[in-house]
Amino acid sequence: MTEQKSSNEMWGGRFASGPDAIMEEINASIGFDRKLYAQDIRGSLAHAAMLAETGIITAEDRDKITDGLNAILAEIDSRKFVFSRKLEDIHMNIEARLAELIGPAAGRLHTARSRNDQVAVDFRLWVKDELSRTAAALKKLIEALLARAEEHAATVMPGFTHLQTAQPVTFGHHCMAYVEMFGRDLSRVRDAIERSDESPLGAAALAGTGFPIDRHMTANALGFREPTRNSLDSVSDRDYALEFLSLAAICATHLSRFAEEIVIWSTPQFNFIRLSDAFSTGSSIMPQKKNPDAAELVRAKTGRITGSLVALLTVMKGLPLSYSKDMQEDKEAVFDAAGTLELALAAMTGMVSDLTVNTASMKKAAGSGYSTATDLADWLVRELGMPFREAHHVTGRAVALAESRKCDLAKLPLEELRSIHPSINEAVFGFLTVDKSVRSRKSFGGTAPEQVRSQIRYWKKRIAKA
């Protein structure tokens, strides 16, 4: 006779009580959505005030609900509140505790709303709050970059294409490139706040409600511009979460690019910068090592944030209107990405302020790889009226000659330059140094120190208003 397996054996050790335990495990969200407690209570306070104002509940019940919710907020803030997995989520945990505190009046709070619009308004409020925190963190990073750019507006370094020395630039100009990137990130944050500034509260389960509610009142009380305009979309929309993850992924990519440069610049081969011990670690076996671990971790965390974006896009891609339980998977991705981005922004701000610039190494490297070759070509065009394509060819021959002589362009004898083109004169040597090169790039947005300082002034004014 075949021995029958017990339910415990069938379901495994973790789910000792069988299918009910599995359902509880997959269904419960209180482990992570408890982060929404403050927003949930804010939403309920606004809803209760509106219900009383419209005559749907009495002022007495409103006052009981208000006192009870404020008591629960104090309990959670002081870590005295006991969360229950059996109550599934933050909404039911708070509602159950409210019933314990104030009795039957608690049951009237949920009039004219559903958990669908309740979670939608809670999550929107949380994302809006996080966007504001992201904006503040970006401003701090931009301000740190502006300070370093101003300090090094005339510090010469090599500019690269294909990670090969291209033309001399200044370190200030390089810092300002990241100001532009993070400035765009800040702009995306502001845009996202504007687009998410609509309240879904009052959409109820999916079709609105027959109660005479005032959605404009609750929207105003919660700091939204206006209520959403379609109840189906209100409860099924997660664009605000996707947009947060999208801008976070773009911002993290910018952080990662800068982190990669910090890693490269801090190597002995480059020796452009040095991070203090505050943002470095040593090796467990090699005592001479100083590793830029903070930059490496910023670079790595980009993968987590991008992964969160892809995960939520995949969750949402096949959902019919309106609400589906799949959307419970939205919060962990956003919470994790938000925390990761906050940490990465803080770390990068710290590194920007902390790093020491080796100006001598930068300047030496700026002159390598015949970086002023373009300046020679430009001089031939400007002074001799030579077509640029011909000037390009003449300059290429000059570079080949310098390579064969193992010297810089500025060290080639005049007679040898004239052997390439007889019209070249000694005035050319005034344009072949890295300092002259960067000072000559005066076009708007160029690397000339005066242009860099001009852009710094512009961004200081812009950030002050942001």
Tell me: the pLDDT tens digits for 58-92?
Answer: 999 999 999 999 999 999 999 999 999 999 999 99
Is 196:171 a contact under the CB 8 Å cutoff? no
* Pairing of the two strands 226-227 and 198-199: parallel
- Establish whether 162 is a catalytic residue: yes
Adjacent-strand bridge partners of 159: 167
| pLDDT recorded at residue 14 | 54
CATH 3.30.420.480 fits domain 369-432: no
Going from N- to C-terminal start, the domains of the chain cover: 21-111, 116-211+228-364, 369-432
3-state secondary structure of 287: coil
| pLDDT recorded at residue 1 | 38
| Superfamily grouping for domain 21-111 | Fumarase/aspartase (N-terminal domain) (1.10.275.10)
3-state secondary structure of 442: coil
| pLDDT recorded at residue 65 | 98
Adjacent-strand bridge partners of 158: 168
* Mean pLDDT, the chain, whole residue set: 92
| pLDDT recorded at residue 8 | 43
Q: Which of 6, 78, 162, 284 is catalytic?
A: 162
Query: 453 Cβ partners below 8 Å, 6+ apart?
Result: 150, 153, 172
Q: Would you tell me which CATH number, out of the four given (1.10.3720.10, 3.90.76.10, 3.60.15.10, 1.20.200.10), belongs to the domain 116-211+228-364?
A: 1.20.200.10
Structure confidence at residue 16 as a pLDDT band (50, 70, 90): low
Structure confidence at residue 9 as a pLDDT band (50, 70, 90): very low
| pLDDT recorded at residue 282 | 61
Phi, psi of 83 (to 5 degrees): -85, 140
Q: Which of 7, 283, 324, 423 is catalytic?
A: 283
C-beta contacts of 219-224 below 8 A and 24+ residues apart = 221/45, 221/46, 221/49, 221/50, 222/42, 222/43, 222/46, 222/121, 222/125, 223/128, 224/124, 224/197, 224/198, 224/199
Structure confidence at residue 286 as a pLDDT band (50, 70, 90): low
| pLDDT recorded at residue 295 | 95
* 433-447: pLDDT as tens digits: 889 889 989 999 999
Cβ count within 10 A of residue 58: 13
Kindly give the interhelix angle for 90-102 and 115-151, rounded to the nearest 10 degrees.
Answer: 120
